Amino acid sequence: MSSGDRKHASGGAVTVSRMRAMKREGQPLVCLTAYDYGFAAACERAGVDLLLVGDSLGMVVQGHETTLPVTVDDIVYHTRCVARACRRALVVADLPFMSHTDVEQGLHNAGRLMKEGGARMVKLEGGSEQTALVERLAQNGIPVCGHLGLKPQQVHKLGGYRVQGREQADAERMEADARALEAAGADLLILECVPAPLARQLSEQLSIPVVGIGAGADCDGQILVLHDVLGVTEQPPRFARAFGAETGSVQAALAAYAAAVRDGTFPGPEHGFEA
C-alpha cells in the first residue's frame, strides 16, 4: 500500500458531509460492494471509502439469476457482517425488490437496515416516484442513496440488462429524476450503465456526489461488484476490470482498484458507453 493509500485508509470515518467535501475538492470516491466480514475488512485495509451491501448478493453469493429473490432479512444479515469490519468506510445497504412499495413499508425496512444491520445509509432504486419515501427517510435522519440508469430490480420491465439514457427523452427523464431525488433529500446517487456524456452532465449539475458503474470516468466516484474486481465472475460486464487477475492477491487487487480510481486510470474509455 502506497503512502497515499495509507493516508486514505487511516483517515477518519467517511460521512455524508465528508463525501460532499470530497466532491468539492475533486477527490474521487472509491466504492465497492461487500457481503461479509472478511472481504469488508480487506476493503477497509485498502482504503475503500464506501461499501455497498447490494442486492447483487442474490447473484454473486446466493447464485440466483437476478437480484429479485433477495429479502430484507438477507440484507440485514449481510450488512451486520460487513458493518462489524468497518471503522472508516461508509456502509450502505440496499432496499431489495418489493421492500419499499409504499412509504410506511420503506421507512420500516430502512429502519431495520440501520438498527439491526448497522448501515449508515440505505439505497433504493427509482426516480421521481420515490421522492415521497426519500423525503420521509430524510426527515427521520436516514441518509439515502438513489439509483438511476439500469435498475436491476426492474430487469424484466426493461427487457434485460441494457444501457439506459441513450434516447433524448430518456436522458431528460433521468435528469429530472436525479434533480427530484436531490431535492427530496438524497445524499448520494449511483448511475448504472449510463452513457458517459450524460453521467458527466449529471455529476456537474448535482451538488450531491454521483458514483458511476459503467457510467464513464467523469463521475465523482466509481463502484464495482467485489467479485468482478477480484476476477472470479464467470462472465463479467464490459465495464468491469479484473484487478485480481493482474495482481495475484485479494489485498493487492483491492489496493490497485482504489489507486486506479483515485489516479483516474480506471475506468478507461473501454469500460464506458457513448450516447
In a domain, residue 238? The reply is yes
Band of residue 157 on the pLDDT scale cut at 50, 70, 90:
confident
CB 258 within 8 A of CB 5: yes
pLDDT tens, residue by residue, 57-68? 999 999 999 999
Catalytic position from the list 192, 204, 246, 274: 192
pLDDT score of 5 more than 80 = no
Contacts of 169 (CB under 8 A, 6+ apart): none
Indicate the number of domains in the chain: 1
CB 130 within 8 A of CB 54: no
Instruction: Give the pLDDT confidence score for residue 252 in this predicted structure.
Output: 98
Query: What's the mean pLDDT in 88-107?
Result: 98
Query: What's the mean pLDDT in 3-30?
Result: 81
User: What CATH number corresponds to the domain at position 202?
Assistant: 3.20.20.60
In a domain, residue 160? The reply is yes
pLDDT tens, residue by residue, 201-218? 999 999 999 999 999 999
pLDDT tens, residue by residue, 99-137? 999 999 999 999 999 999 999 999 999 999 999 999 999
Per the model's pLDDT, the better-predicted residue between 163 and 119 turns out to be 119
Annotation marks residue 192 as catalytic: yes
SS percent in the chain: helix, strand, coil, step 5: 45, 15, 40
Instruction: Give the pLDDT confidence score for residue 11 in this predicted structure.
Output: 64
pLDDT score of 20 more than 60 = yes
In a domain, residue 275? The reply is no
Domain limits for position 88: 3-270
Q: What separation in angstroms does the CA of 111 have from each of 20, 51, 85?
A: 24, 18, 21
